[in-house]
Structure 1
């Protein structure tokens, strides 16, 4: 049978978390950088689809391709790790420093890959800044970068709170995609199961920390009126915290602790 039951998935979640925590810094950086770049590629593909058919839903349909590549190849995406690695710490399988080290280096790898692809995309699209006009995708990146930063800031606390809530909702779905991939033993099954929640988050316009690591700096390169401080203060830090809460609380802990055979109360080791 291709299908894996939720109880088996709960065990797999812990095994994957421990395996991730055991990876070397080199592996975390390489796999993290590849994941960041792949999500950047997915964004440009989604924008292309939306611009060609003039329907935003078209972009959401193709965006999951990067995520399923990440899942199939076992690469590292910090937003997915938010739902798994802390579980290993909560269950005493790894130490707090190990957990923090893992998340830090995956985050760093994702950032490197995202910004690198942003630079490469800018270089190719603008002919190293010499092109006189920008295409539709480039204009969409500028608009998105400004909307995701100064756009929220313009609405004060309400705007920043909106970004925070969108980040929670986003990683609820993204981490659901990570876990859903564990419900199948076949490549096709994993692709279908993982892609559904990713389609949902992108279609609804939620906030994903790693996607924004590409969208915002890419928009800045093409001329968005956004500073590095705007990027981190009005989006990246807020969205990252929201992604942690959404992924860990609503997916990782919820699924693991309702399906695991463990009956002891949850403890938080030092």
Structure 2
């Protein structure tokens, strides 16, 4: 059957987390670089479609194409390893410790950022004819996104920071649901359908994805967005990474692991013997 049962799914999640931790540094960085680049292209595509059609829902419907492609090719996003890798640690898999987990996260972050930054530079070049003209409508939109989602949060102070953090939590709840849901099917079509739905939700709702933002904000700065590098890191990237780190493991990885890998004991039922004395039945 093409469907993977939840207990088997959790075993696959733990196996995937262990494999990512034990991967060589070279392979980890290359896969992360390609994931960041492909997701950045998908974000640029979605913004372009939204601007040209005037319908943000169209861009959101099409954005998951990038996520599906990078997943099917075995590339790694920071949001995905945030959810899968801790499960291998929790399951006490050989070769998996806190140092190796942090090493994996650091390498994936660096690779994702480098890939997204490469595409940001390419897109800024395209949208300005190598910085010789003002940005077109798409370029202006990317710049305005950067300002509204940095300075826009800062204008609200602590309330803005909390809002940003929660959007990061909700984002990786959805994104990691897509990563895990893809493992539930053994067919390409099933994987794509399972991924598409939660990714659509996160993008249209404007939740904060650390890797997408690695493209949007550097490109926004190159295109004249009214915010600074410090604004980007303090009022978006760092809180978004923390929110992503909380949302994926807490609402996806740990919940599935707790109820399908470390299940609680089945309840015992009381029955009565022929003499009327209660006895304990065997566990189901």
Deviating beyond 3 angstroms after TM superposition, the runs of 4 or more aligned structure 1 residues are 261-264
Q: Report deviation, 1:39.
A: 1.1
Judge conservation of contact 2:79–2:244 (CA < 8 Å) in 1. Answer: yes
Q: Deviations over 1:116-169 (max 9, x none)?
A: 1100111122122102x3222111111110011111001111111100000000
Residue equivalent to 2:145: 144
Alignment of 1:254 onto 2:243: no
How many residues in Structure 1 have an aligned counterpart in Structure 2?
A: 263
Alignment of 1:192 onto 2:184: no
CA distance, structure 1, for counterparts of residue 238 and residue 197 of structure 2 = 27
Superposed counterparts of 1:46-61, under 5 Å = 46-61=46-61
Residue equivalent to 2:158: 157
| Higher share in helix | 1
Q: Report deviation, 1:53.
A: 2.1
Alignment of 1:123 onto 2:125: yes
Q: Report deviation, 1:262.
A: 5.8
Q: Under a length normalisation based on structure 2, what TM-score does the superposition of the two structures give?
A: 0.90
CA distance, structure 2, for counterparts of residue 138 and residue 104 of structure 1 = 30
Q: Report deviation, 1:263.
A: 5.8
Superposed counterparts of 1:1-270, under 5 Å = 1-93=1-93, 94-131=96-133, 133-260=134-261
Residue equivalent to 2:276: none
CA distance, structure 2, for counterparts of residue 212 and residue 142 of structure 1 = 12
Gaps of 5+ in 2: 266-284
Q: Under a length normalisation based on structure 1, what TM-score does the superposition of the two structures give?
A: 0.95
CA distance, structure 2, for counterparts of residue 82 and residue 112 of structure 1 = 18
Gaps of 5+ in 1: 265-270
Larger radius of gyration: 2
**Higher relative contact order by CA 8 Å / sep ≥ 6: 1 or 2?**
1
CA distance, structure 2, for counterparts of residue 92 and residue 225 of structure 1 = 47
CA distance, structure 2, for counterparts of residue 136 and residue 126 of structure 1 = 11
CA RMSD of aligned residues (A): 1.2
